Structure 1
Amino acid sequence: MTPGHARPAVAGTLPPWALPCAPVAPFASARLAVAPGIQPLDPAEWFLIAQDYAGQMAERDRLVAEHPDWAYARTPQGEAAAAELLETVAAHVVERHGFRPDGPRALIRPDGVRVALDDLPPIATAGRLVQDDLLLMARPEGADEHVLVSGILCFPAHWTLSEKIGRPLLRIHLPVPEYPGDLARRVQRFFDGVQPGRPLWRANWHFAGGPEIVTPMREVDKTRMYAERLALTEDAWLRVERQSVLRLPRTRAVLFGVRTLVTPADGLTPAQWRDLDAVIAALPAEQGARKLGPALRARAAREAATAG
Structure 2
Amino acid sequence: MRLESDWWIELESTYIQRVAQRKELHSKYGHTILNYLPGSELACRELMFTVIDFLQKRYPFQFSFQPRSGLFENKILGIIEDVNNVEPLFFLLNHVPEDFMIVQKDSSTNKYHLRAGVSCSAIGWNMKDKMGKPLHEVHQPVPLYEQSLRHSMDRYFDKLSCDKPIQRGSWTFEAGQPLFLQVEDPGYAAHKQYNPELRIEDVHLRVDWQTLRRLPESGAIVFNFKALFTPVTEFRKEPYIPQLVARVLRDSQTSIKDYKSWQHLEHKLLPALDQWAQEQRDLGVVPPGWEERTLDEHPFYPGWDYSL
What interval of TM-score do these two structures reach, taking the shorter chain for normalisation?
A: 0.7 to 0.9
Shift of 1:144: 3.9
- Could you say which structure has the greater relative contact order, defined with CA pairs below 8 angstroms and 6 or more residues apart? 1
Matching residue's letter, 2:171: W
- Specify the alignment match of 2:38 in structure 1: 76
Alpha-carbon distance, 1:121 to partner = 1.4
Choose which of 97, 101, 124 in structure 1 pairs with 2:59.
Answer: 97
Q: Does 1:258 find its partner at 2:235?
A: no
Check if 1:283 corresponds to 2:252.
yes
Residue matched to 1:5: none
CA deviation after TM superposition for structure 1 residue 194, in Å = 1.5
CA contact (8 A) 2:175 2:191 kept: no
Give the 5 Å matches for 1:213-292.
213-217=179-183, 228=193, 234=200, 235-268=202-235, 269-271=237-239, 272-288=241-257, 290=260, 292=262
| Structure 2 CA distance for aligned equivalents of residues 67 and 119 of structure 1 | 23
Deviations 1:12-69 (A, max 9, x none): xxxxxxxxxxxxxxxxxxxxxxxxxxx1001111112221212211212333455443
The alpha-carbon deviation at position 191 of structure 1 amounts to 1.9
Structure 2 CA distance for partners of 1:285 and 1:138, relative to 1, 3 Å: same
1:108 aligns with 2:73: yes
TM-score, with structure 2 as normaliser: 0.77
Q: 1:192, CA displacement in angstroms?
A: 2.0
Moved over 4 A (4+): 224-227, 229-233, 288-291
Change in 2 beyond 3 A, CA 1:151/1:286: closer
SS for the counterpart of 1:154 is coil
Aligned to 1:85: 47
Unaligned 5+ runs, structure 2: 282-308
Alignment partner of 1:301 is 2:301: no
* CA RMSD between the two structures: 2.7
Map 1:186-225 → 2, pairs under 5 A: 186-217=152-183
Provide the residue aligned with 2:287 in structure 1. Answer: none
Q: Secondary structure at the match of 1:139?
A: strand
Q: Is this contact kept in 2: 1:240–1:261, CA < 8 A?
A: yes
- Measured after TM superposition, the shift of residue 114 of structure 1 is 1.3
Aligned residues: 267
Q: 1:49 aligns with which of 11, 16, 25?
A: 11
Counterpart of 1:53 in structure 2: which amino acid? Answer: Y
Distance 1:288 1:298 in 2: 18
Partner of 1:182: 148
The residue type paired with residue 194 of structure 1 is: L
Is 108-117 or 228-237 further displaced after alignment?
A: 228-237
Give the distance between the partners of 1:100 and 1:227, measured in 2 at CA. 40
Q: 1:40·1:199 contact (CA, 8 Å) conserved in 2?
A: yes
Deviation of residue 101 (structure 1)?
A: 2.6
- Decide which of 130, 134, 146 is 1:168's aligned counterpart: 134
SS of aligned partner of 2:173: strand
Q: Secondary structure at the match of 1:40?
A: coil
Structure 1 stretches lacking a partner, 5+ long:
1-38
Structure 1 counterpart of 2:174, one-letter code: A
Look up the match of 2:284: none
- How far apart, CA to CA, are the structure 1 residues paired with 2:192 and 2:29? 29
Counterparts of 1:247 and 1:118 in 2: how far apart (Å)?
23
Secondary structure at the counterpart of residue 228 of structure 2? strand
Q: CA deviation at 1:280?
A: 2.6
Evaluate the alpha carbon distance shift between residue 238 and residue 49 of structure 1 in structure 2; reply closer, same or farther with a 3 A threshold: same
Instruction: Tell me whether 124-133 or 58-67 shows the greater mean CA deviation.
Output: 58-67
Separation in 1 of the partners of 2:19 and 2:38?
27
Matched position secondary structure for 2:120 = coil
Higher Cα Rg, which structure:
2
Residue 115 of structure 1 contacts residue 128 of structure 1 at CA under 8 Å; is this kept in 2? Answer: no
Deviates more, 1:157-166 or 1:295-304: 295-304
1:148 equivalent among 114, 117, 132: 114
Which amino acid letter does the alignment assign opposite residue 210 of structure 2? Q
- Single out whichever of 146-155 and 110-119 deviates more from structure 2: 110-119
Among candidates 17, 23, 28, match of residue 61 of structure 1: 23
